Each structure stands twice: as structure tokens, then as C-alpha cells.
């Protein structure tokens, strides 16, 4: 089964309709696919295309059999100033159709996992960036979808929170969920991702396992970082 099939001929914005071109890949159950590339390579545009947020898309994007539920965890937290942490979770649960008992059990488990139980009745507007990002993780994990689309999740997280996040992803993958994750943290990506999509100048430069990326870069024993550097020399930084 394919959780996500993307065959994007072109996508972009009204003034730049072809920011990305010929971006084609599949994501399958249990996979953690790392989307990597320099700044300006088209990673964010690709995610926006998948989420249906662009005005101009040519090609097709298919989520499984049409009944695949996904969670999007953005790079920058999106929270309501007037709602407490628990009220954010209640609002999300209502939108997801989670019943009361199932919601409370799952929410309390996640708050405990990310060490947020003591502040569940507080307003997140007063929280640090790292704590706000952990709320986005809790919201993303709440309804256990078939697919997670995650944009730069490590920014602002402390090492313990990163470990908690990766542990949760591992559990979700064992359940059969798939993950598409954009990240600049290449050493972590090399360790946890099952395959990679390397973008450059709006298109896919290479894709596949680390072995495939090494072959494409001509560096058979190199790290993902070294392959990345060799294949994107001359572009903007990571």
C-alpha cells in the first residue's frame, strides 16, 4: 500500500508557478522519509503542495485510497492566545472526532510523555518556543493518523524532547504510520530516516536509501552530510 503518492509536474505561486518541477515520490507504511536540501531548494513549497496550500499545482497528489488521515506539524507553532493548553487539545479532539474517554487517555499520556502535565491549564502564549513546539507535537500525535508531515521538528527542542519525539515516531512507525520529515539536522536524519529526498533548485536531485544517495554522489562510504555537501556545492547553505 502507498500512503502518499506525489507526481508533481510543477507547483508554485501566482508570480512563480514553477518553483518546484518534476517532484515524484511515494511514501509507504512504516517509512520515515527525510526531505533535505539547501535553503531555497523547494522543500517548503513541496510540503505546501502536499497540503493543498498552493494556487498553482500541475500533477497529482494521492493520499492512499482517499481515506488517509494525516497530521501536519509545522516549523513554527500555531496557537491561540486565549486558549489554555488543555483547551487546545479539546479543540483538536473535537475536530478529529475523538470521543471523550479516548481523548482524555491519549492526551494525558502525551502530556506526561513531553512533560507538560503541570502546565496543561496555562496559556501557551507565555511558554518558551521549545514548550510551544512540544504542544505542536502533542497535537500532531493526538489522533494517531496514517501519515505525519513534519517540517523542521528539531528547532527549539532540547535533547530530551528530541529523544521523546523520535521515540514516539518509532512507535508510530511500528504501528504502520508513515512519516515525511523536512529537516536540516542531517546527522539525526541519517540515523533515523529509512530513505531520503534530496532537493536542489526546485527538483529532486537524488532519492532513495543512504546507499542510493552515496551512489548518486559518487561517495560510497560518505556520511549523508558529505553527500549533501558534494551534491549541492555552489547553492545557498543548509
Predicted confidence (pLDDT) per residue in 89-128, tens digit = 999 999 999 988 999 999 999 999 999 999 999 999 999 9
What mean pLDDT is predicted for residues 18-24?
96
Contact 231, 71 (CB under 8 A): no
Q: What percent of the chain has pLDDT over 70?
A: 98
pLDDT at position 22 is 97
Distance separating alpha carbons of residues 6 and 114, to the nearest angstrom: 32
pLDDT at position 234 is 56
Question: The pTM is what?
Answer: 0.94
Residue owning grid cell 496514517:
146
Rg (CA), the chain: 18
Tell whether the model's pLDDT for residue 212 goes beyond 50.
Answer: yes
What mean pLDDT is predicted for residues 156-160?
92
Domain locations along the chain = 1-69+145-238, 78-143
pLDDT band at 54 (very low <50, low <70, confident <90, very high): very high
**Which of 48 and 56 is assigned the larger pLDDT?**
48
pLDDT at position 95 is 93
User: Whole-angstrom distance between the N-terminal and C-terminal Cα of the chain?
Assistant: 33
pLDDT band at 237 (very low <50, low <70, confident <90, very high): very low
pLDDT at position 76 is 93
pLDDT at position 177 is 97
- Strand-strand pairing, 178-182 and 147-151: parallel
Taking domain 1-69+145-238, whether its CATH number is 3.40.50.300 is answered by yes
Tell whether the model's pLDDT for residue 20 goes beyond 50.
Answer: yes
For the chain, give the mean pLDDT. 94
Tell whether the model's pLDDT for residue 236 goes beyond 80.
Answer: no
Tell whether the model's pLDDT for residue 235 goes beyond 60.
Answer: no
Distance separating alpha carbons of residues 137 and 132, to the nearest angstrom: 9
The secondary structure of 16-79 as a DSSP string is EEEEEEEEEEEE-TT-EEEEE--TTSSHHHHHHHHTT--SEEEEEEEETTTT--EEEE-SS---
pLDDT at position 181 is 98
Tell whether the model's pLDDT for residue 214 goes beyond 70.
Answer: yes
Amino acid at each position: 500500500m502507498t500512503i502518499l503518492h506525489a507526481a508533481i509536474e510543477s507547483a508554485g505561486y501566482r508570480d512563480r508557478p514553477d518553483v518546484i518541477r518534476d517532484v515524484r515520490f511515494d511514501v509507504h507504511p512504516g517509512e520515515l522519509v527525510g526531505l533535505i536540501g539547501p535553503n531555497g531548494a523547494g522543500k517548503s513549497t513541496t510540503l505546501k503542495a502536499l497540503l493543498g496550500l498552493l494556487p498553482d499545482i500541475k500533477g497529482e497528489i494521492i493520499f492512499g485510497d482517499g481515506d488517509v488521515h494525516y497530521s501536519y506539524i509545522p516549523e513554527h507553532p500555531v496557537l491561540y492566545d486565549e486558549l489554555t493548553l488543555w483547551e487546545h487539545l479539546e479543540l483538536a479532539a473535537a475536530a478529529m472526532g475523538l470521543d471523550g474517554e479516548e481523548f482524555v487517555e491519549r492526551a494525558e499520556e502525551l502530556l506526561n510523555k513531553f512533560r507538560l502535565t503541570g502546565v496543561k491549564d496555562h496559556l501557551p502564549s507565555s511558554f518558551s518556543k521549545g514548550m510551544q513546539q512540544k504542544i505542536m507535537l502533542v497535537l500532531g500525535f493526538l489522533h494517531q493518523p496514517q501519515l505525519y508531515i513534519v517540517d523542521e521538528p528539531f528547532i527549539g527542542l532540547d535533547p530530551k524532547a528530541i529523544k521523546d519525539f523520535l521515540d514516539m515516531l518509532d512507535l508510530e512507525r511500528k504501528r504502520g504510520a508513515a512519516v515525511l520529515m523536512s529537516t536540516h539536522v542531517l546527522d539525526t536524519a541519517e540515523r533515523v530516516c529509512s530513505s531520503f529526498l534530496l532537493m536542489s533548485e526546485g527538483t529532486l536531485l537524488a532519492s532513495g536509501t543512504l546507499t542510493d544517495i552515496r551512489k548518486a554522489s559518487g561517495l560510497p562510504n560518505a556520511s549523508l552530510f558529505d553527500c549533501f555537501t558534494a551534491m549541492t556545492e555552489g547553492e545557498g547553505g543548509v
